[in-house]
Structure 1
């Protein structure tokens, strides 16, 4: 038995809906009733198209799911469910870990639990979620997420970038800030691996922008070096707007420029951990800080 968790979009709406219906039909009758059973393939597809979700499978069979919906300062997990036949097999835990891995830059995960389901409230509490508000019969719960990581070497930086590549989606804009040699391009190399794009990711300094097409049916990677750009007008001249909706756009040296291009973005800052000029820069670990800006 092998549990696999994948990020999915609108094309998986039928599978996601099947899991939601099976999981929620098995729950006790609630008052007011859960509105999950009113979902249709169209409503699920719209949610997945806008924000994405996760689908868990065992030996290829859909057994668990959740939908993402970003808020101002957290990622809300909705329609979290595991079919009865797969409960007790670690599916729910894998979905929670998948949510953590898929939401880099958010300060917290959020869920809404029901008072009438104490076992469910306990499940979330055991996984680091604490009550933040009670609106009977609803309980708002949150789990803080890390927003900073240490990368000891280039391999660590690429691994972090690969995680980032699995958490971004079409339309995302990533702004990378850091001194020369901080590791911005190395992070982007890992991001390209996580996205599954074609072509070696190198610094685009001499071409300003480079497009790496997806080889897995996901979004392309648009890699931009804004170091030599004088302002937002020059950035607009690159015609990036035509690809923003269908690609993940990574902009090095973009702070102060990209704000006019995308109100919602992921800002990543890379600094030397020791900040000691006497230490060889190649031996100095880096601290990577991520922050979601929602406009």
Structure 2
């Protein structure tokens, strides 16, 4: 169950063949309630048989709250494209359920499934005649990448990158490679349970940046500044584990050093995002097998700073670098 912005319970589930008529009704009602378009939206010509075909070939997601079904969408996977991509289709929220997070949570669920399937980008087509809809996608980190015709826009966002890390040495090496991507002003928000490897990753970043001083968890001093020995930016290492609010984090006056530093905040999820419009979110997950030390490091760049950065070079183990999407 997921809490929406309206404090209602939202449940997401995968569509099954028996959901075709239900989804057809949601799509028809949702798209029919929008401003009239010329030509009409393709969704308005869908039949129940068309929806059955989508359920067979694509991933369907249905959202429901306490009052019943609230919305649905489809996502097709294209692993053989030049860049493996997931494509969103028929994103539909019923009129009475809009502006309460239904679309956001459905899209996040689709993004997670696309990431699990090995997709690197998430895309959709939106109508130019619906500027409010286009703006909604843009505020959720989608960018217009192509004007397909006088009516249709192609929007795109990067999906999180997953890197499998078998050992602590591999975690440090990942940090070294990641350091090659970093620049002054970058904010990294690192999450993961105790012992997941956040500090080990930071040690690798420090090695890659060639900063001074041993890198240890700053839990009791809250933050440490590691000055560079060369031309790389300094590293500000923060541990927010004992902080309870954004205000307490603000008391550290990180803004004074951010423009000249790489700032890494452990335990920063929910606290540090406001520090910068662009950031790199890192979440480290343990294996469910207690005998398996492998970690999965999930990296997701947020904001314009990260749109041209190919985080998948980290997954491939190649030297990291900024690369524009071809």
Q: Is the 8 A contact 1:68 1:77 kept in 2?
A: yes
SS of the equivalent of 2:49 reads: helix
Q: CA–CA distance in 2 between the matches of 1:139 and 1:3?
A: 30
In structure 1, C-alpha distance between the alignment counterparts of 2:109 and 2:162, rounded to whole Å: 18
TM-aligned CA deviation for residue 70 of structure 1: 2.4
3-state SS of paired residue (1:6): strand
* Alpha-carbon contact 1:17-1:40 (below 8 Å) kept: yes
Shift of 1:59: 1.8
Kept in 2, the 8 Å contact 1:107–1:144? The answer is yes
1:113 and 1:47 mapped to 2: Cα distance? Answer: 19
What is aligned with 2:146? Answer: 133
The answer to whether the Cα contact below 8 Å between 1:10 and 1:52 also exists between their aligned partners in 2 is no
Q: Extract structure 1 runs of 4+ deviating beyond 3 A.
A: 149-153, 281-291
- Corresponding residue number in structure 2 for 1:45: 52
Q: Which residue in the other structure is 1:156 paired with?
A: none
SS at structure 2 position matched to 1:102: helix
Measured against aligned partners, the alpha-carbon deviations of 1:221-256 in whole angstroms (never above 9, x if no partner) come to xxxxxxxxxxxxxxxxxxxxxxxxxxxxxxxxxxxx
1:146 is the counterpart of 2:157: no
Q: How many residues align?
A: 164
Matches within 5 A, 1:255-294: 285=295
Of 13, 34, 42, the match for 1:6: 13
Contact 2:162 2:296 in 1 (8 A): no
Contact 2:63–2:106 (Cα < 8 Å) also in 1:
yes
Residue from 22, 25, 28 that aligns with 1:15: 22
For normalisation by structure 2, the TM-score amounts to 0.46
Tell whether the 8 Å contact from 1:10 to 1:44 is kept in structure 2 after alignment.
Answer: no
SS of the aligned residue for 2:119 comes to coil
Say which of 116, 132, 135 aligns to 1:122: 135
Which of 59, 64, 74 in structure 2 is aligned with 1:57?
64
Match of 1:75 in 2: 86
CA RMSD, aligned part only? 2.5
Contact 1:3/1:58 (<8 A) preserved:
yes
Pairing 1:105-254 to 2, within 5 Å after superposition: 105-135=118-148, 136-149=150-163
Structure-2 change in CA distance of 1:108 and 1:284 (3 Å): closer
Residue 30 of structure 1: which of 28, 37, 44 is its match? 37
Gaps of 5+ in 1: 154-280
**How far apart are residue 285 of structure 1 and its match?**
4.5
The 3 A distance-change label for structure 1 pair 134 and 18 is same
Residue 78 of structure 1: how far off its partner (Å) = 0.5
Partner residue, 1:90: 101
Instruction: Provide closer, same or farther for how the CA distance between residues 138 and 286 of structure 1 changes in structure 2, counting only shifts above 3 A.
Output: closer
1:7 positional shift: 1.5
State the structure with more CA Rg. 2
Give the drift of 1:151.
6.0
Q: Would the aligned equivalents of 1:8 and 1:48 in 2 still touch at CA under 8 Å?
A: yes
Deviation per CA, 1:150-172: give whole Å up to 9, x if none.
5689xxxxxxxxxxxxxxxxxxx
Report Cα offsets for 1:102-153 as digits up to 9, x if no partner: 1121011111011111111111111111111002211101111123245689
